[in-house]
Chain A
Amino acid sequence: EIVLTQSPGILSLSPGERATLSCRASQSVSSSYLAWYQQKPGQAPRLLIYGASSRATGIPDRFSGSGSGTDFTLTISRLEPEDSAVYHCQQYGSSRTFGQGTKVEIK
């Protein structure tokens, strides 16, 4: 099983700042089959990024994904108040596993 470890656990930043979230895999993720989801309290996850770097439909361009192999990054270039949420990474190259999530707080 591929274990995904996300860091940091909590990220507290001000509006307009840049957020960098990390997702590290215990083994290489096939063909960059990695996705990022945003989850707000009481809501289902929403797909943000797939294929490590492709934005899902309707996702603002301030969200971007990068990485390959075992190291992946989600970047939010200019934080807005509505970006306060938990962000999950998921690999779908070998079965399906999720990271434990990173909570982004807006000061």
Chain B
Amino acid sequence: QLQLQESGPGLVKPSETLSLTCTVSGDSISTSTYYWGWIRQPPGKGLEWLASIYFSGSTSYNPSLKSRVTISVDTSKNQFSLKLSSVTASDTAVYYCARHGYYVSGYMDVWGKGTTVTVSS
């Protein structure tokens, strides 16, 4: 059964870089035909897609955050990661990782449980 698990610091200081990792179990990123992505949800607000990556390293980013976001993949560890630089309080959110296909299968069908990140000094 495919499972995704987010991990990383729960507290990040303003202006620093937020770093999160998603560990995939039950499927191999390197042989999968899916993309792997990050989505966040500020408290009481809607969902926002941040970035996605394919095992080959092909990436796509939300244009509004592209200058601050980096997504990477480590197929040897079956993990993919997110870095968000120069964080402010508005980056406080629950961060989810998820799997999705492309084109007709571009919906997100498997999600991690999410990890809460607070930006505060």
A residues adjacent to B (C-beta < 8 A): 1, 31, 33, 35, 37, 43-47, 50-51, 56, 88, 90, 92-93, 95-101
Q: Which residues of B contact A31 (CB under 8 A)?
A: 104
**Contact call A101/B46, Cβ cutoff below 8 A:** yes
Q: Which residues of A contact B104 (CB under 8 A)?
A: 31, 33, 51
Query: B96 within 8 Å of A by Cβ?
Result: yes
Query: B89 within 8 Å of A by Cβ?
Result: no
Out of A44, A46, A88, A92, name the residue touching B100 (CB < 8 Å): A92
A107 to chain B, nearest CB (A): 22
Given contact pairs A98-B49, A100-B45, a sample of 18 additional A-B residue pairs in the complex whose CB atoms are under 8 Å apart:
A1-B64, A31-B104, A37-B47, A43-B113, A44-B113, A45-B111, A47-B108, A51-B104, A56-B109, A88-B47, A90-B47, A90-B49, A92-B100, A92-B106, A95-B62, A96-B49, A98-B46, A100-B46
Query: B63 within 8 Å of A by Cβ?
Result: yes
Q: How large is the interface on B (under 10, 10 to 19, 20 to 34, 35 or more residues)?
A: 20 to 34
Instruction: Give Cα A107–Cα B75 distance, bound, in whole angstroms.
Output: 48
Show 19 A/B contacts (Cβ-Cβ < 8 Å), sorted by A: A1-B64, A33-B103, A33-B106, A33-B107, A35-B108, A44-B114, A45-B47, A45-B96, A45-B108, A47-B108, A50-B105, A88-B46, A90-B47, A90-B108, A92-B100, A92-B106, A96-B37, A96-B52, A100-B46
B residues adjacent to A (C-beta < 8 A): 37, 45-49, 52, 60, 62-64, 96, 100, 103-109, 111-114
B23 to chain A, nearest CB (A): 15
Number of A-B contacts (CB under 8 A): 60
Q: Dominant SS at the A interface?
A: loop
Q: Which residues of B contact A90 (CB under 8 A)?
A: 47, 49, 107-108
**A47 and B48 in contact (CB under 8 A), knowing A1-B63, A31-B104, A33-B104?**
no
**A44 and B111 in contact (CB under 8 A), knowing A98-B47, A98-B49, A99-B46?**
yes
Out of A1, A35, A99, name the residue touching B107 (CB < 8 Å): A35
Instruction: Give Cα A43–Cα B114 distance, bound, in whole angstroms.
Output: 8
Instruction: Give Cα A69–Cα B116 distance, bound, in whole angstroms.
Output: 35
